A and B are shown apart, each in its own frame.
Chain A
């Protein structure tokens, strides 16, 4: 019965940034623990696909992780943290214990941002990443009609992946305007992304791509059967079986906030070598700014090794991504008064009229008080109303009362 496990370096999150950090630290001789709540490493982007081999890059890093001497905690959730005592309380399906560190690397990644529109809670309307994850674990979309809508490079990646899985992509709906997309395409060539984009383009030949366009509503009785899309001044209706939405990513900054890290414009503030404002706490990957796999790997290696390796060369690309795919103002008015904003607690947009801040909305309407802890509606309301949820307290995720009562006790 080991109540507390001790490591030189603990890495929170086993996506690309976390894997790179853990490998870099372990290869320099540190005792490393890598914590993730999934059963296998890879994070969202390298989630194991039942029907397709991993990409070359993913294979390289997953092999490297395999060879390194790293203690991997899978299906393990970090539910509490005290930066002062350098201890994390973690929970597994059958027990809980504490993990202590000298150095902590935060690589908690990002989640999909949902923006509410009429009908977004209908079954069949899903996050593009979520639908990809379902397909990777066996959901059959052969012949299914799918509209992919939202913004950002993930739209094309999702559409391509779903098409390869046999889906019939009805349309790709991108809210960004053509000039910024063109600029993005030209400039991203500098970051070695041109071939990637070209490949996706080839995969998607024949699929209608609407730019400066967005979903106005999803329709259907018991599940989605069609979407209405605003294309320039017209509205087009696409019958469909699924709507895969992706309105960009929201960083998972709950653990960094609890650890006391300074947050800047919604992301963890880092200085050279991926240092946060808290001594011996580092951050890498999407929590420091959305930048994709390559920047996450560079930052992870830097954070894990403690050496500056030039990860900051990705900063202009992160800015470019942000500037190109920042959701336009029109999307703020998609949700009607009766549209549900918080799906855990069934709070409609009109219920938030007159509320001045996130806290008031929570107290008066229960918005964000459900099991997702405001992870979905919080990101939406940050965009819709400019509200930020800055208070983070343990438990970070729902945890058994027993875990919080006796964090040092392993399973019974």
Chain B
């Protein structure tokens, strides 16, 4: 490679694209290595939900910071990005979940994130297609929806990064070797290959967590918010082998995107009927009218899952000049922009806006089970 880059980012999913963009904004010359289509991996299989989460303080800090960056970016995003501030409704089916909604309300409120408790009636008014008899919901009005694969490409193009089509088979902090033998030297290297990151950096503990999604034909107005059951927390947190949860999203096109399923350690791409069925049945328990809508497509994707549900952002354990930006599980879209900014801060030895240490790849080896 004659024109060597200051930084090579491996992987042009939303995380790699956000890294390339952030690094380029600091004036560095970036190259991106991608073996498939830009935004064509897990990024293409995502819902594109920008959501502030509170599993842990570190997760809250990262999602909140990144959500703020998305709102800043929104003004610049063309309409194809489909940025829509739909808001999230965390739906409570009974009193126990309502208590959880109130806890979340207090937690977010104390940290300056606006939320609102809806009682049963307010919920029915907000989303008339939800079944009657639900307890209420927590509304998070600033949560949003985007179309990730398009944005990944837009970010890569905006960064001016040279795109190298090839498969990286080895990476250190100073060079990347491709399958065809080409060696690409660089001042620094970022491994942003998501669920495939351990192939290049073996110390990373990332397991695939397969998910199914299904999209309907266009029914504008059928839903207004992203709906997530509060029971989702149990499903998403546990490392049990299989689970489903109601997670519904109105797309800018008027289509309804139906999720979600989780299968830890499964890396096949085929649609598994039993999971699809369970996921759809769960969705129909909350929104019975969904059953009559025509489904047009279903697909699967692999979430890159770390043991503590936090991404790896920072120097690799075995080679501190190799940076990692991977393992974002189901929050890669939300946290991509913060990840890019943190990586740029680390490269330029700047003080980041939030403490970066909780996301350092080294942590898991101390805390892992």
Contacts and interface: CB of A to CB of B under 8 A. Distances in A.
Interface of A: 80, 82, 356-357, 359-360, 363-364, 369-371, 373, 393-395, 398-402, 404-407
A395 B298 CA distance: 7
A316 B161 CA distance: 52
Nearest to A344: B296
Nearest to B287: A401
B296 A371 contact: yes
Contacts of B277: 404-407
Contacts of A371: 217, 294, 296
B184 interface: no
Given A82-B273, A393-B271, A394-B271, A404 B44 contact: no
A18 to B, nearest CB: 25
B37 A399 contact: no
A134 B150 CA distance: 40
A400 B294 CA distance: 4
Contacts of A373: 296-297
Contacts of A394: 271, 273, 276, 298
A363 B44 contact: yes
B40 A363 contact: yes
A80 B280 CA distance: 15
Contacts of A369: 296-297
A398 B296 contact: yes
Contacts of B299: 393
Q: Which 9 A-B pairs have the closest CB atoms?
A: A402-B291, A405-B280, A360-B37, A398-B294, A363-B149, A405-B281, A401-B295, A398-B296, A401-B290
Residue from B36, B39, B297, B299 whose CB has the most chain A CB atoms within 10 Å: B297
B291 A363 contact: no
* Tier of interface size on chain B: 20 to 34
Contacts of A360: 37-38, 40
B295 A399 contact: yes
A398 B217 contact: yes
B293 interface: yes
A80 B274 CA distance: 13
Contacts of A370: 296
Contacts of B368: none
A401 B40 contact: no
A404 B284 contact: no
A359 B40 contact: yes
Nearest to B218: A371
A401 B280 contact: yes
A224 to B, nearest CB: 27
B284 to A, nearest CB: 6
Contacts of A400: 291-295
Contacts of B292: 400-402
Interface of B: 36-40, 44, 149-150, 153, 214, 216-217, 258, 270-271, 273, 276-277, 280-281, 283-284, 290-299
A401 B258 CA distance: 10
22 contacts: A357-B37, A360-B40, A363-B37, A363-B150, A364-B37, A369-B296, A369-B297, A371-B294, A373-B297, A395-B297, A395-B298, A398-B295, A401-B280, A401-B291, A402-B284, A404-B214, A404-B280, A404-B295, A405-B280, A405-B284, A405-B291, A406-B277
Nearest to B150: A364
Contacts of B297: 369, 373, 393, 395
Contacts of A398: 217, 294-296
Contacts of B298: 393-395, 404
Contact of B216 (A80, A401, A406): A401
Contacts of A404: 214, 276-277, 280, 295, 298
Given A363-B150, A371-B294, A398-B294, 20 more contacts: A357-B37, A359-B36, A359-B40, A360-B40, A363-B39, A364-B39, A373-B296, A393-B298, A395-B295, A395-B297, A395-B298, A400-B294, A401-B280, A401-B283, A401-B292, A401-B295, A402-B284, A402-B292, A405-B280, A405-B291
A25 to B, nearest CB: 27
A401 B273 contact: no
Contacts of B284: 401-402, 405
Contacts of B153: 364
A373 B273 CA distance: 20
A400 B288 CA distance: 12
A82 B271 CA distance: 10
A86 to B, nearest CB: 13
A36 B258 CA distance: 29
Contacts of B270: 393
Contacts of B39: 363-364
B214 A401 contact: yes
Nearest to B284: A405
A386 to B, nearest CB: 16
A391 to B, nearest CB: 8
Contacts of A82: 273
A360 B12 CA distance: 13
Contacts of A406: 277, 281
A381 B217 CA distance: 23
A405 B150 CA distance: 30
A399 B298 CA distance: 11
A369 B297 CA distance: 8
A359 B45 CA distance: 12
A373 to B, nearest CB: 7
A93 B264 CA distance: 37
A395 B283 CA distance: 17
A402 B280 CA distance: 8
Residue from B258, B276, B292 whose CB has the most chain A CB atoms within 10 Å: B276
Nearest to A360: B37
A371 B216 CA distance: 9
Nearest to B272: A82
A359 B217 CA distance: 20
A191 B268 CA distance: 47
